[in-house]
A and B are shown apart, each in its own frame.
Chain A
């Protein structure tokens, strides 16, 4: 997926809740790329223009899974704590 598509997707999936300056996405993508969690490739996009496409690497996929697990554990815990109030 290229940067523009990722930005659009975030807005869409979050139901317009997560609205940030779209440009701020790129430093984050570049950092992830530098650290080897995602990889990038230049390919022709649907409108025949060259674009940079990002994809998770194997290491990135593993890291994502552990981070997501972590997130669920944490948010569940927080949820439980909130419920008792």
Chain B
């Protein structure tokens, strides 16, 4: 077919309709006149000439209609007419239309928001070349490897074309005269950028040659954002010096705007070669230490290599290494690979579960909205029986009517989807602007894109089918005669579509309310959980002395001076120091053993979180000391060094023994005298709120040098005032220090509480939404059901039925429907609870109180929804109703 002509003709039929219409009439007119003239010439009288011509031509309007259809745009034109008709019908019932659009907009908006989250966080690939070939290394649930192990893996494997390692490190950056700022970035192996295969925005990236000599190449690549904000988009930035933790680096490149590192939710602002870590982490020698497992590894699979093959190869190397270094790896060690971007399986797993739960509940809300609408439309369709009956009687095709009615549903769905998309856009804006009071550049920005728009459109069409199909089919199944007489349907009893809808609605509401209440109660539990410290009235401020070039002696002196100075301030009830406050990111941990027992193999060793604290810290943080004593100033030189342990460690290593005075050690060397336990504290939460009780030990900070230090004070002063005093006290001692995480501990708990809070807010909104939907839907359906029965009730009353009998007949039906709905919903919720248990904390997914609350709530809503229509029914005056019809 000559497509050019077809397209031209289609466009012409679309845009020159009027002209084509004129030409069509002219063409037929010409033919008719010609025929008439021929007949006249043949000698017919004028009247007969015209009739004969018309007979010869045939039914003109029908033929013209066929001509119009042949233009190839009949579908479009019919649809346009249907849309106009639908819009007119919807305008005639503004209240219904508004309610329907709002219902849909909320449902579709919620789902679009959830999908945006899933799309942005879970489905997004890293902005690098061939991202599907990248794989993140996980080892038995841990994501870290040590540098020597990394080198072994890199050099011995036969499955990766590149294997890069990196570490997320904060530094204090100074750009000439400007104030120091704390930024986070990667110390990355030299092959990092080669592996990703990306291009810089300016300058160049560093390569393997710049990573082979420790300390030799002080080069830094900065992020586009840092370049814009800190360097004022300076085009001559290449070659400039910046100081990272006081050590001069040369800027060699600026990354492209879309690239913020290989972890989607942690955005990096700089990249330096791994060989330079000694410069930015003074005193660290972990590049040589096989036990310092603090790197993340990311490999690019060679073409054609399967993930399982790569894992087998890595495990082969691990077996070899376990033979050589039995202290570090053991033969049970297994590597597995996961999609990069979310810290391997450690973060991707929980986020995926969370995404699934949200998607599931979002789908339920939308389903409920659809059921609600289906209910409203069914009610409406009964009212439109007369109209449809007339049209069928006049010969309208059922298919044609079906199409027209579905157009109405589609128009509703599309309006709802457009509003919903706008709502989702707003919700994402709010979510993205939600800055956590955190030191870490935690990325929460999500925004809808073209894929999300497609999703919304698909949802709109799916909902159209869901809520529109049943009512439409019901309308079309009209018996002509009774509908024209406007008689009520014959089925007053028995189970109709409407009853099914009411039951479904109640069941869905029960599921949603149960899920929402479960999560909200779980959050309450999480907030009540024993943290192992008392966040109220505690203020903290963190700094890193090594960044300013302090050696261990000077930093000890600084710490002492600081504690003395802050203690002398008014209103400070207790003052203490800790290396890294619990529940932030990056706790140190170590294996803990008893010197008087044989050394267990690596996989059976007890891991304990290790903190370094000063005397007074436990009091300042509000950590309860269960037995023994706090550190004292005399502990500084004592040998064996004292240690305070928590209850969990006691339970693990010294069951049924008195641990005070006993010794523990942190390494396998038999020469180590170990540490003497002097006190036992309560068990707190150290890495996450949801963790099981974890062993932890506290070492005296004065005997153990530390990089980062957090000052903690307990005070009745308001947090803002107290924070200001701390800031001033620290800066008085050294005005060049960079302070971070200054403020009340309660604010700083926002990261550990973030998942639970986000879940509770989203599910809380979903839950309220579900209750509102259920209430309005039930109310509308009940009111309608009673209205339809007005005539029947009128007759009954006229025949002498008492109001209580009428009431009970209405209530009996409602109760039956509610009971069926509630029990179905409860059963479904029990099944769904298993999925939910992954994000629940401290509450069983079958918590009876939650179930009771939800069931009572829904039952109450059903009763209230039924009350008004029912009371109206018994006040019906029989005479009026009978006359009405």
Contacts and interface: CB of A to CB of B under 8 A. Distances in A.
B28 A23 contact: yes
Contacts of B66: 24, 26-27
A57 B5 contact: yes
Interface string B832-844: 0000000000000
A2 to B, nearest CB: 7
A30 B70 contact: yes
Contacts of B72: 34
Contacts of A68: none
A24 B1 contact: no
B388 to A, nearest CB: 31
A21 B28 contact: no
A21 to B, nearest CB: 3
A51 B416 CA distance: 50
Interface residues of B, number: 32
A4 B1 contact: no
A73 interface: no
A57 B34 CA distance: 26
B57 interface: yes
Contacts of A7: 31
Contacts of A35: 1-2, 5-6
Interface string A34-53: 11110100100101011110
A22 B23 contact: no
A21 B58 contact: yes
A31 interface: yes
Contact of B27 (A3, A37, A57): A3
A59 interface: yes
Contact of A36 (B2, B59, B71): B2
A26 B23 CA distance: 12
B30 A23 contact: no
Given A23-B57, A26-B63, A31-B70, A2 B6 contact: no
Interface string B198-209: 000000000000
Interface in A2-16: 2-4, 7
B139 to A, nearest CB: 66
A34 B58 contact: no
Contacts of A36: 1-6, 9
Chain A interface residue count: which class?
Answer: 20 to 34
Nearest to B5: A36
A33 B9 contact: yes
B30 A49 contact: yes
A74 to B, nearest CB: 22
Contacts of B26: 50, 52
Nearest to B66: A27
A26 B2 contact: no
Contacts of A50: 26, 30
A2 B1 contact: no
Contacts of A59: 1-2, 5
Nearest to A51: B30
A4 B1 CA distance: 27
B1 A21 contact: no
A16 to B, nearest CB: 13
A4 B35 contact: yes
B518 to A, nearest CB: 61
A42 to B, nearest CB: 7
A23 B6 contact: no
A29 B1 CA distance: 16
A23 B2 contact: no
A36 to B, nearest CB: 3
Contacts of A42: 23
A45 B37 CA distance: 14
B31 A34 contact: no
Task: Name the residue among A21, A23, A31, A45 with the largest chain B CB count within 10 angstroms.
Answer: A23
B60 A23 contact: yes
B33 interface: yes
B733 interface: no
Contact of B30 (A4, A31, A39): A4
A52 B1 CA distance: 23
B30 to A, nearest CB: 5
A24 B66 CA distance: 9
Contact of B58 (A22, A33, A39, A51): A22
B749 to A, nearest CB: 70
Contact of A34 (B3, B9, B33): B9
Contacts of A57: 2, 5
A52 B6 CA distance: 19
Contact of B34 (A4, A21, A24, A30): A4
B763 to A, nearest CB: 56
B765 interface: no
B70 A34 contact: yes
A33 B63 CA distance: 16
A34 B6 contact: yes
A40 B413 CA distance: 43
A3 B31 contact: yes
A21 B63 CA distance: 10
B56 interface: yes
Given A24-B63, A27-B63, A34 B27 contact: no
A4 B70 contact: no
Nearest to A33: B9
B30 A26 contact: no
A34 to B, nearest CB: 5
B51 interface: no
B13 interface: yes
A12 to B, nearest CB: 13
B67 interface: yes
Q: Which residue, of B10, B27, B58, has the highest number of chain A Cβ atoms within 10 A? A: B27
Given A49-B33, A52-B26, 8 more contacts: A21-B57, A24-B66, A26-B63, A26-B66, A27-B70, A30-B71, A52-B23, A52-B27
7 contacts: A4-B34, A21-B56, A23-B60, A34-B70, A36-B2, A39-B5, A50-B30
What 8 pairs between A and B have smallest CB-CB spacing?
Answer: A36-B5, A21-B58, A27-B66, A36-B2, A31-B70, A23-B63, A23-B57, A23-B58
Interface of B: 1-6, 9-10, 13, 23, 26-28, 30-31, 33-35, 37, 56-60, 63-64, 66-67, 69-72
